[in-house]
A and B are shown apart, each in its own frame.
Chain A
Amino acid sequence: MRPVPAMSAEERRAMGMVRNGAEDYEITPPFLSYRPDGQADLYRNTVIGLAVKWLGFEPLTSLFASWSGSSRAGLFDGIAWLGIENYIYEKELPLRPHLAALRRECAAEFFAGRGGLSRQQMMAGGPLLQQQAARWESVLGREPRFVFAKEKRLKEALEPTGDLAPAQLLQALREIIAEYFHFSDFRLSGAHRPSEGRSLFLRKERSHRDSLLQRGDWEDAAGGQRMGRTAAARAREAADRAYIEACFGPPCLSARELARMEKVLCQDAHAFCRLWVCKSRPEHEHAEQKEALLFAREAAEQAGKNADFIRKERVMVQAGIRSLSARLAVMLENFAQELPETGVRGRLMGERAYRMPLLQDPAVFLKPAQDPRPDLSVDLLLDASASRTASQEMIAAQAYMLAESMMKCRIPVRVLCFRSLRGYTVLQILKEDKERSAAPILQYFAGGWNRDGLALKALEYLETLREDPSSRRLLLVLTDAHPSDSTEMPPEGRSPLKHSYEGAAATEDTAAAAADLRKKRIRIAAVFTGSHSHLEALKTIYGNHFVRIRHMEQLAQEAGTLLEQELIQWRG
């Protein structure tokens, strides 16, 4: 079993197996398991899911996090899973009798995959392999042999019965790790090891001047140890990535796809940038990092505020949704209404009926129009930079209203937000277009910088990865038209100096990215909620394709007008 990697078909299967076992599709699996041929392992993944079901997500992930900083974390993980497997098997078997057959298959596969190794070689292959071999021997009804009594005792200790309480099991596993492997520091490791975690984050944080954590006393803490230049650069890079992953979760693209995307997009003005595309996370599983914990707490707090705002303003929000969806419905009917045509079936046209007996013309019927739903889909892109901090609830509510209105008209709508920090432009998918609920949008929160040009390019790239692209796509950007990022642009022309991504240069870069999108037949328009001083930049980037919203009450009316304009131009 290994930690969660990026998504592929087999990974999707593995995730599905875990979530099915957990009976909870909200979780991000803490581990995934694959067979040696790369296929998702049904039994082990089901056990991982069942472990979440029986032990709870938080206690389980806390257990593994408690030694994740150790160099022997892989060994401890394997040992703990052996104990958990036995416990889960006993708990679940009465409810899922087929588990016994799956377990035997798993045991048989274990030995089949190690055909070249004798039993003695396996026993000599380190404590984990030895204990695994012993477990699967027992499952197959064979008696494992041990050289030392201690090994046998460990095997017995790793067979906890199902009548233990979850907390007792987790404590027992910690005791096993402590007794047999002499490990005792079960504090959340990442946050407690200066050389491995926090100090590197802090140093990088200061050099970049940006952070998702806009509050908190840790920012003034001491920096880390000085390291050699190359090692320091490598460590910084690793720390940046760890920070981004801890805050936003794993990327939803495979590592290869993400690398390809960076190779294509992180050029010219974005040469020093990295990309991260991920989904929103209802739970926070990187709790071992203090920054990530604080981040999760702030994000959860903001999500609560967003939800409260929607509740408080529900009359206005619902009225807006009703009004905009009604307007959209009429627009869409007109937009794609096909005219009825004559045919050999349908409604009889009295005035043509004579043609049938006289002219043997069967086409005397009126065939109704086809389904008028247009092949249209919409992306809502929310600027989630720190400049939007003061109006987070408002932006979340606007996005929620727009998405709900469109969903009522059966328009697939995907909602993303973007921000940049530590050199990464993070594109976070809050709501997929197939998702039926707009509630995940309320997880929106603001923090970091905004490299609009790169975000638009990334979105354009993501379009190329779609399996079922609509012929008509509209991108609505909720923005303050003020692109600005701490990661600089490379030197241009003869100047040896890098320059900042802000002002006219950033606006032009964003305008160029928007123009590229239009060339790809993706219409782009803006819902502007920024200050008067950025109107010029707004026009440069979006031309006339924008509306300015000063109050929430305006949204339905103004957004309706904007969408109408876009649809009319499309038709034209």
Chain B
Amino acid sequence: MNKHHAADLLDCLRAEGVREELLEETEAFRKKHPVPAELADRVPAPTYVYYGKAVWEKALAALLCGENLLLSGPKASGKNVLAENLSCLFGRPQWDISFHINVDAAYLIGSDTFDGEKVVFRPGPVYLCALQGGFGVLDEINMARNEALAVLHAALDFRRVLDVPGYARVPLKEETRFIATMNYGYAGTRELNAALCSRFAVLDMPVIGEEDFRKLLKTTFPELKAQPGEQFMRLFYDLERKAAAAEISDRALDLRGILDALRLMGRGLSSGDALDMCICGKVFDPLEQELIRDVIRARLPMDLTGAELFEESKAEA
């Protein structure tokens, strides 16, 4: 799988028609804040490019203004892809912080630990991100309890500071940004309170559109034939409608799964096996699996092979 770097991304965004002044300012930001060598491997080199001019322009404008971003959208809207793309484009080291119900201040900021001789402070990802001027991706932020997130308030608003009880008051570096993602309505999620929401610029992420889907397929699998590629795209939207109507769960609505299935077919698996592994296998209710298979069977033959799918055996960007 090819990895993209800031220069490739800039080219893609220029081709997308993203406003030039935003791209120039982003480049200037990157030059102004070079990454220390020891953190270079934290700057992501994304596999996928996020397509969507309007979303890109909003996200760039917000981050350039020093805002933190809250990417809100349903499954398969590319929240994490965009977050990774932004870190790459701005050339910032990224800390991924996955939220769950038991996230607390200690998990985020750091906690005391015992090093065998004495109690010492072990910094958490938010602390490190603040200190190193990174981009902190707060993934599925609404899975955590609101009270656990209160420790971030001072870091996220105009104060831009982390006060670690018993240790130090750490000001955030100028280039530090936080990008939160959330899927409203996911099982286990909760409503973000107003105090937290007000500290983010909220960007509603739509499910990937048909044109952008085609571009994604084209860049990821340049040798993919147009007609079967189109059917895989339509399969995704068939599943999206089914999930939106709650006939199947969101688990099966998996853009990554569709791309993975294509990849497996490039390695010689049949479409039936590949889609079983990458889509149907993600739900565990036999009837739900059957409902998903019905959608697949109405769209694609089960014995499609890589040779019928790609121009030359298998090829992937």
- Tell me the smallest distance from the CB of A24 to a CB of chain B, in Å: 8
Is B14 on the interface with A (CB-CB < 8 A)?
Answer: no
Contacts of A20 in B (CB 8 A): 238, 241-242, 294-295, 298
Contact of B241 among A25, A325, A436 (CB under 8 A): A25
Complex interface residues of chain B between 110 and 156 (CB less than 8 A to chain A): 111-114, 116, 119
Considering only CB atoms, which chain A residue lies closest to B243 in the complex? A25
B119 and A371 contacting across the interface, CB-CB below 8 Å: no
Q: Which of B190, B231, B246, B247 contacts A97 (CB 8 A)?
A: B231
Chain B, 185-229, contact with A by CB distance < 8 Å: what is the 0/1 string?
A: 100111100000000000000000000000000000000000100
B247 touches A25 (CB 8 A): yes
- In the assembled complex, which residues on chain B have CB atoms less than 8 Å from the CB atom of A16? 242, 247, 291, 294-295
Indicate whether A305 reaches chain B with its CB closer than 8 angstroms.
no
The answer to whether B39 has its CB under 8 Å from any CB of chain A is no
Q: Does A96 contact B (CB under 8 A)?
A: yes
Choice from B241, B246, B298 contacting A46 with Cβ under 8 Å: B298
Our count of residue pairs bridging A and B at CB distance below 8 angstroms stands at 89
Q: Give Cα distance in the complex from A17 to B238, angstroms.
A: 11
Q: Are B294 and A17 in contact (CB under 8 A)?
A: yes
Contact A410 B106 (CB under 8 A): no
* Shortest distance from the beta carbon of B109 to any chain A beta carbon, whole Å: 12
Complex contacts, B102 vs chain A, CB 8 Å: 368-371
- B294/A98 in contact, CB under 8 A: no
| Given A13-B290, A102-B298, A436-B185, A348-B113 contact (CB < 8 Å) | yes
Q: How far is the CA of A67 from the CA of B261 in the complex (A)?
A: 47
Does B260 lie at the interface of the complex (its beta carbon under 8 Å from any beta carbon of A)? no
Least CB distance, B124 to chain A, in whole angstroms: 12
The CA of A347 and the CA of B106, in the complex, are separated in Å by 7
A348 touching B111, Cβ below 8 Å: yes
Q: Does A42 contact B (CB under 8 A)?
A: yes
Complex Cα spacing A21 to B244, Å: 15
Check B299–A9 contact: CB distance below 8 A. no
Complex Cα spacing A102 to B106, Å? 58
Contacts A40-B294, A46-B298, A353-B119 hold; do A347 and B104 have CB atoms under 8 A apart?
A: yes
Q: Counting CB contacts under 8 A, is A228 at the interface?
A: no
- Asked whether B298 lies within 8 Å of A408 as measured between CB atoms, the reply is no
In A380-417, the 8 Å CB interface with B consists of 408, 410
Query: Is A434 close to B, CB under 8 A?
Result: yes
User: Scoring A residues 416 to 449 as 1 if CB is less than 8 Å from chain B, else 0, what string do you get?
Assistant: 0000000000000000101110000000000000
Is A371's CB under 8 angstroms from B245's CB? no
Q: Which residues from chain B contact A17 at a C-beta distance below 8 Å?
A: 294, 298
Given contacts A40-B294, A371-B101, contact A19 B247 (CB under 8 A): yes
Is the beta-carbon distance between B294 and A25 smaller than 8 angstroms?
Answer: no
Residues of B within 8 A of A325 (CB): 191
B299, A96: Cβ atoms closer than 8 Å: yes
Residue with the highest number of chain B CB atoms closer than 10 Å, among A20, A21, A373, A408: A20
Any A CB within 8 A of the CB of B65: no
Cβ of A143 < 8 Å from any Cβ of B?
A: no
The answer for the CA separation of A82 and B46 in the assembled complex, in Å, is 51
* Minimum CB distance partner of B249 in chain A: A434
Asked if B301 is at the interface of the complex by the 8 Å CB criterion, the answer is: yes
In angstroms, Cα B290 to Cα A370, docked, is: 34
* B 258-282 binary contact with A (CB < 8 Å = 1; else 0): 0000000000000000000000000
The answer to whether A410 touches B189, judged by C-beta atoms less than 8 angstroms apart, is yes
Chain B residue numbers with a CB within 8 Å of A95 are 234
Q: Say yes or no for A12: interface residue by CB 8 A criterion.
A: yes
Q: Is the CB of B114 within 8 A of A356?
A: yes
B287 within 8 A of A: yes
Q: Chain B residue with minimal CB distance to A101?
A: B301
A87 to B200, CA, bound (A): 53
Taking CB atoms and an 8 Å cut-off, the chain B residues in 65-120 that contact chain A are 101-102, 104, 106, 111-114, 116, 119
Q: Identify the closest chain B residue to A371 (Cβ).
A: B101
Closest CB in chain A relative to B20 CB, distance in Å: 38
* A74 shortest CB reach to chain B, Å: 26
A216 an interface residue at 8 Å Cβ cutoff? no
How far is it, in angstroms, between the C-alpha of A329 and the C-alpha of B112 when the chains are bound?
31
Smallest CB–CB gap between B74 and chain A, Å?
Answer: 11
User: Is the C-beta of B300 less than 8 angstroms from some C-beta in chain A?
Assistant: yes
List, in ascending order, chain A residues with CB within 8 A of B190's CB.
410
| A26–B241 CA distance with the chains assembled, in angstroms | 11
Q: Are A12 and B291 in contact (CB under 8 A)?
A: yes
B297: A residues at CB distance < 8 A: 42, 102
A434 touches B246 (CB 8 A): yes
Say how far A72's CB is from chain B's closest CB, in angstroms.
32
Closest B residue by C-beta to A356: B114
Cα A209 to Cα B106 in complex, Å, equals 69
Q: Which of A25, A97, A98, A357 contacts B298 (CB 8 A)?
A: A98
Hey, which chain B residues are within 8 Å of A19, CB to CB? 242, 245, 247
Beyond A16-B247, A97-B231, A368-B102, is A348–B112 a contact (Cβ under 8 Å)?
yes
Q: Report the Cα distance A513→B295, complex, angstroms.
A: 44
Q: How far is the CA of A265 from the CA of B116 in the complex (A)?
A: 69
Contact status B300-A98, CB under 8 Å? yes
Provide the residues of chain B in CB contact with A369, threshold 8 Å. Answer: 102
- Please indicate the chain B residues that have their CB under 8 angstroms from the CB of A329 in the complex: 191
With known contacts A25-B244, A347-B106, A353–B114 Cβ distance under 8 A: yes
Q: Which residues does chain B contribute within 8 Å of A26, judged by CB atoms?
A: 245
Task: Report how far A16 CA is from B301 CA in the complex, Å.
Answer: 19
**Proximity string of chain A (106-118) to chain B, C-beta cutoff 8 Å, 1 when within and 0 when not:** 0000000000000
A350 lies within 8 A of chain B by Cβ: yes
B112 / chain A contacts, CB cutoff of 8 Å: 347-348, 350
12 residue pairs from A and B, CB less than 8 Å apart:
A16-B291, A17-B294, A20-B242, A40-B294, A42-B297, A98-B301, A101-B301, A347-B112, A348-B112, A371-B102, A371-B188, A432-B246
Which residues of B are at the interface with A, using a C-beta cutoff of 8 A?
101-102, 104, 106, 111-114, 116, 119, 185, 188-191, 227, 231, 234, 238, 241-242, 244-247, 287, 290-291, 294-295, 297-301
Instruction: Name A's B-contacting residues (CB within 8 A).
Output: 9, 12-13, 16-17, 19-21, 23, 25-26, 40, 42, 46, 95-98, 101-102, 325, 329, 347-348, 350, 353, 356-357, 364, 368-371, 373, 408, 410, 432, 434-436
Which 5 pairs from chain A and chain B are nearest by CB?
A: A25-B245, A368-B102, A371-B101, A348-B112, A46-B298
Query: Other than the known A96-B231, A370-B101, what 6 A-B pairs have Cβ atoms closer than 8 Å?
Result: A13-B294, A19-B247, A20-B294, A348-B119, A357-B116, A436-B185
